[in-house]
């Protein structure tokens, strides 16, 4: 499917099997450790785990002392907060190639609940590991800041786009976000109705009505297992006329 990014002879040179896996990893080019050269990779390989989680699994909880950062290899993760008043709000989502839980690198507590939306594969990178690298690898730090920037951009765009205007337009913009995380078959993950509600700040019934309406309009086609296919042209058209 994708060509290897590392020449064969270099792979041979690596003693540890995990190092080979990392070197060949498809998300590596876009992931945090894409900034590292192969030598560095070799040095740290032993510490990196690559767990898989089922949908709805909690990666980490808000307030917990951060001990690791994660690179998402596949799947979608959402960030939740619960207000003092007890309502849940989903503040953003992350997908393949994204780095999450960066606050662990600062020895801080996690900011949000991170929950798997779909089955998720991640690389787990202990926070201390990056500490030790930090002194030497300036490129890594730069890449790290780029990630931080990206997260902030995402969070601000989320709040600007998804929590303003009539419910239908918010729903359409949410779909526009979700297509960015479409899988290889062009199918998107469609949240449960109450989750859509928590993303857009609307009632779950309203979310349901909107989904039904978009289904009738031919924008959205519902499939089993929280999946859906959507018509890009009709989505654009709908977004336009929602001005």
Partner DNA sequence: CGAGCCGTTGAGGGGATTCAAGCTCAGTGG
Partner DNA sequence: CCACTGAGCTTGAATCCCCTCAACGGCTCG
CB of 195 vs DNA, minimal distance in Å: 8
User: Which secondary-structure segment (H or E) carries 125?
Assistant: strand 120-126
Q: Which two tokens stand for residue 210?
A: 């909107």
Nearer to DNA, 139 or 160 (CB): 160
Tokens of residue 214, six digits: 């978009």
* Near its own copies by CB under 8 A: residue from 148, 179, 226, 227: 148
The one of DNA, its own copies, none whose footprint includes residue 203, by CB under 5 to 8 A per kind, is: DNA
Q: Interaction with its own copies in 157-186: which residues (CB under 8 A)?
A: 157-161, 163-165, 169
- In whole angstroms, the minimum distance from the beta carbon of 82 to DNA comes to 16
Residues that bind DNA (CB under 7 A): 166-168, 192-194, 201-206, 208-209, 211-212, 215, 222, 226
158 binds, among its own copies, DNA, none (CB under 5 to 8 A by kind): its own copies
For its own copies, the closer CB: 3 or 83: 83
What's the CA angle centered on 94, arms 193 and 134, to 5 degrees? 155
Shortest Å distance, C-beta 121 to its own copies = 24
Give kind and range of the element (H or E) at residue 144: helix 138-162
8-67: contacts with its own copies (CB under 8 A): none
Helix (H) or strand (E) holding 88: strand 88-94
Distance from C-alpha of 4 to C-alpha of 201, rounded to nearest angstrom: 43
Would you state the structure tokens that stand for residue 11, as one six-digit string? 């792979």
Report d(CA 13, CA 33) in Å as an integer. Answer: 19
User: 102 or 195, CB closer to DNA?
Assistant: 195
Of the two residues 92 and 193, which places its CB atom closer to DNA in the complex? 193
Residue 142: Cβ within 10 Å count:
10
The bridge status of strand 99-100 relative to strand 113-116 is unpaired
Site for its own copies in 70-109 (CB under 8 A): 79, 81, 83, 85, 87, 89, 91-92, 102-103, 105-106, 108
Percentages helix, strand, coil for the chain, rounded to the nearest 5? Answer: 45, 20, 35
Residue 112 interacting with its own copies (CB under 8 A): yes
- For the stretch 89-94, contacts whose Cβ atoms lie closer than 8 Å and that sit 24 or more positions apart, written own/partner, are 89/198, 89/201, 90/195, 90/198, 90/199, 91/155, 91/158, 91/159, 92/151, 92/154, 92/155, 92/158, 93/117, 93/177, 93/178, 93/181, 94/151, 94/154
* Shortest reach from residue 193's CB to DNA, in Å: 4
Nearer CB in complex with its own copies: 123/130: 130
Site residues for its own copies per CB under 8 A: 79, 81, 83, 85, 87, 89, 91-92, 102-103, 105-106, 108, 111-112, 134-135, 138, 141-142, 144-146, 148-149, 151-153, 155-161, 163-165, 169, 201, 242-243
């Amino acid at each position: 499917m994708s060509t290897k990014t590392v020449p064969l002879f270099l792979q041979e040179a690596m003693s540890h099997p995990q190092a080979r896996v990392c070197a060949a990893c498809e998300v590596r080019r876009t992931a945090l450790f894409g900034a590292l050269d192969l030598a560095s990779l070799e040095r740290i390989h032993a510490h990196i785990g690559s767990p898989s989680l089922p949908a709805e699994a909690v990666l980490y909880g808000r307030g917990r002392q951060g001990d690791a950062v994660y690179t998402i290899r596949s799947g979608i993760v959402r960030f939740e907060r619960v207000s003092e008043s007890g309502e849940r709000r989903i503040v953003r989502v992350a997908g393949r190639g994204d780095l999450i839980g960066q606050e662990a690198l600062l020895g801080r507590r996690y900011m949000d609940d991170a929950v798997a939306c779909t089955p998720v594969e991640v690389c787990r990178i202990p926070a201390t590991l990056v500490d030790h690298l930090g002194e030497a690898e300036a490129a890594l730090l730069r890449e790290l800041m780029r990630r931080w920037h990206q997260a902030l951009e995402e969070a601000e765009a989320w709040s600007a786009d998804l929590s303003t205007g009539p419910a239908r337009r918010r729903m359409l913009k949410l779909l526009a976000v979700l297509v960015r995380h479409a899988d290889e078959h062009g199918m998107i993950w469609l949240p449960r109705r109450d989750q859509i509600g928590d993303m857009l700040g609307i009632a779950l019934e309203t979310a349901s009505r909107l989904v039904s309406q978009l289904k009738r309009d031919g924008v959205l086609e519902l499939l089993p297992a929280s999946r859906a296919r959507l018509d890009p042209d009709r989505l654009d058209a709908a977004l336009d006329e929602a001005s």
